[in-house]
Amino acid sequence: MGLLEGKRLLVTGVLTDSSIAFNVAKLAQEEGAQVVLTGFGRLSLVERIAKRLPEPPPVVELDVQDTEHLDTLADRVGAHVDGLDGVVHSIGFAPQTALGGNFLNTTWEDVATAVHVSTFSFKSLAVACLPLMKEGGAVVGLDFDATKAWPVYDWMGVAKAGLESCSRYLARDLGKHGIRVNLVAAGPLRTMAAKSIPGFQEFEESWPAKAPLGWDLADTAPAAKACLALLSDWFPATTGEIVHVDGGVHAMGV
């Protein structure tokens, strides 16, 4: 019996096979889960990446800024599975003007985009999937420690702080449905999202040296395994929590 035997999961954010979400989907299938993916934009690209998984899953289109996509998500996912036991939110975006040391000059329009896609979408996705989670389950989001003002992260850091707060309110309101809501705060990884951050090399140069356990910027497996644990039945009374998977940097004073 695998850790997620019989579980039905919706996984967002599989853009490349170097993404955390890809590893979540891969390990989930290996642990017995049935997986459905979402894709944004050119679905053919996501479908191509999906074929690299042990069992190529169905891909459902989802633009989290599109109300119609959200309103119909449960029906479209329900065409492939008879319910959901878990949802993985791996969605984040900020315009270039909101990153890279431009904090004081970013316009509200660009900040609004970052918050809509990276923060509000956590609530939107959870609510859209609620009709499929009649037996309860787990929602897990991917985070980056928002307790500090990091170099170059700027308004995405603000959006992540909002994500952390949003997860606590979701935990409060979804608890009555038997749904746990938690975040995994991963250290910096060389994903597609990281490549879009100007000055990301500052993290690459300093993080491994600061981490008590060391840190491999190319290894998404530790973060993915944490997601699987939170999606499993082994955390039945944990909600509103942030699990740090960063080599221990968040706990250090340097």
Q: Which residues belong to the active site? A: 153, 160
Q: For residue 53, give the amino acid letter.
A: L
Q: Measured on CA atoms in the order 29, 132, 71, 193, is the torsion positive or negative?
A: negative
- The beta strands (E) that lie in 144-227 are given as 179-186
Number of helices and strands in the chain (H, E)? 10, 7
CB atoms within 10 A of CB 48: 12
- Dist. CA 195–CA 126, nearest whole Å: 27
> Which DSSP letter does residue 119 get?
I
CA distances from 184 to 54, 152, 178, 212 (A): 24, 21, 20, 18
- Dist. CA 95–CA 106, nearest whole Å: 9
Strand order in the sheet with 241-245: 59-61, 34-39, 8-11, 86-89, 137-143, 179-186, 241-245
181 forms beta bridges with 139
DSSP assignment string, 31-74: TT-EEEEEE-S-HHHHHHHHTTSSSPPPEEE--TT-HHHHHTHH
CA distances from 42 to 49, 72, 119, 201, 232 (A): 12, 19, 23, 29, 31
